[in-house]
Amino acid sequence: MHFNKTIPELSVFDINNSKNFYVNILGAKIEYERKEDKFIFLSLEENQLMLEEISDEGWNVGDLDYPLGRGINISLEVKDIDLIYQKVKLYDIPLYRDMMINHYGGINEMIEQKEFLLQDPNGYLLRFTD
């Protein structure tokens, strides 16, 4: 398996709730899981995330209250943003920002990006783009 050079590891309140959200709603694949550590390694196309349930033995440097990940949005580029958007709507997941087309300045060009944002069950802000 190929591992990306940067892989966010997110501390979560309930590993089973998070697993359900990422796998059953968003369509992520479990690459491997350490149930005894309440840890899962996920992929969604070429995106990779690690999730670990909060414990006293974790990597946390302060109090963890909802919403987690303040000041961070995780951008996930996907091939079929409309399919994921439909799943999110089907499961009645509230959107932080609805689907939109945005334009961003690149090095020598304007980049057009279709995107929407939502918060996962822990409050992490996920930005889906195509």
The answer to the question of residue 109 being in a domain is: yes
Domain CATH code at residue 24: 3.10.180.10
Q: Is residue 23 part of a domain?
A: yes
Q: Quick check: is 1 in a domain?
A: no
Position 2 in a domain: no
In 26-92, DSSP assigns E strands to 29-34, 39-44, 47-53, 73-77
CA angle 13, 16, 17 (to 5 degrees): 65
Domain count for the chain, please give it: 1
Q: Is residue 76 part of a domain?
A: yes
Per-residue tens of pLDDT for the chain, all 130 residues: 899 999 999 999 999 999 999 999 999 999 999 999 999 999 999 999 999 999 887 777 778 899 999 999 999 999 999 999 999 999 999 999 999 999 888 788 888 899 999 999 999 999 999 9
Quote the domain boundaries for residue 104: 9-57+67-129
